[in-house]
Amino acid sequence: MTLLTLRPPRLRKGGTIALVAPSSQCEAESIAAAAQFYRKQGYQTALGENVRNLRRTGYFSGSVEERVRELHWAFEDDRVDAIFAIRGGIGASWLLPNLDYDLVRGHPKIFMGYSDVTALHLAFQRKCGLIGFHGPAGGLYTGGGADDLKNRTANLRRALGLLGRPEPWGEVKNPPGARFVRTGFGGKAEGRLTGGNLSLVTELVGTPWAPELEDRLFFFEGVESSSASVDRGLIQLFLAGELARSTGLIAGEFSDRPKPEEGDPSIEEVLSRWFGTLGKPAIEGLAIGHGSHKLLIPIGVRARLDADGGRLVITEPTVD
């Protein structure tokens, strides 16, 4: 069932950002640095109970019940204007059968995150029609050195600016220092954007929360992915009939790659083969994913892909 698009209210200066941990936990320093950063940008913050208590249950930020309760609070509390996941990690998919989608639908809000948070974006889109925002983590890691911190704060500033814009964003461009966007297969296509981390997308195939790729522009990225794992993910979507239903493909970044076995093709070679096999407009190299530069990509919004020119253009508003 395809739902009407649910557009959340924009994030205005002075608004409150809830920091939540639906997957894994952050360090205290990252949470404190993030709260200070948002205050300097003109926003207030509210910490979810799992974030505030630095809760950990194995590699999760709490039990399923605790993480669901934190998300429900963030959507239901009228003092919260936007919800940022402090990081990805593992475990968001455990929440999907336990979430109150009527509650989310009744309180549409900006929800931003990436990596493991892909599962929540796709579930909210499938069950509520809620536009989601695949972008930088809401926490602010400070242990990677001056250049790393500069990139992280730039990513968040860029995202905050876009989340306050009620008009269409226009072209999504790689920031200075990011890699060149190349044509994977020529042509033009339009459709609503969907996707995220390739491992999480394929994890949901065959479930009630799987993304709908029909008439969609499909974007995907990966971390610690081998050529074989990217190939397996795409063949799973192909055999499920999903890739054939999409209108075009956007390959983001594949970072922290393991050392390839001798004779293995590169990920770029795997992608080129798939682009040729599918024969759909495709580009590769937008700064989507786990790299230094993290573009904000709206899920559920109409966009136009010009693969020959390496351009992706957001053509409708993302927020009210």
Catalytic site residues? 115, 221, 290
Distance CA(88)–CA(113), nearest Å, equals 7
Distance CA 230, CA 92 (A): 21
The rounded Cα 256 to chain-centroid distance in angstroms is 18
For residue 55, the one-letter residue type is: R
Cβ burial, residue 236 (10 Å; 0-12/13-18/19+): middle
Task: Return the SS3 of 222.
Answer: strand
**CA pair distance 292, 312, nearest whole angstrom:** 20
Residue for token pair 């970072």: 255
Q: Which of 244, 232, 250, 156 is nearest to 194 (CA)?
A: 250
* Amino acid letter, 216: R
Determine what percent of the chain falls in helix, strand and coil, rounding each to the nearest 5: 35, 20, 45
As a whole number of angstroms, the distance between CA 273 and CA 238 comes to: 13
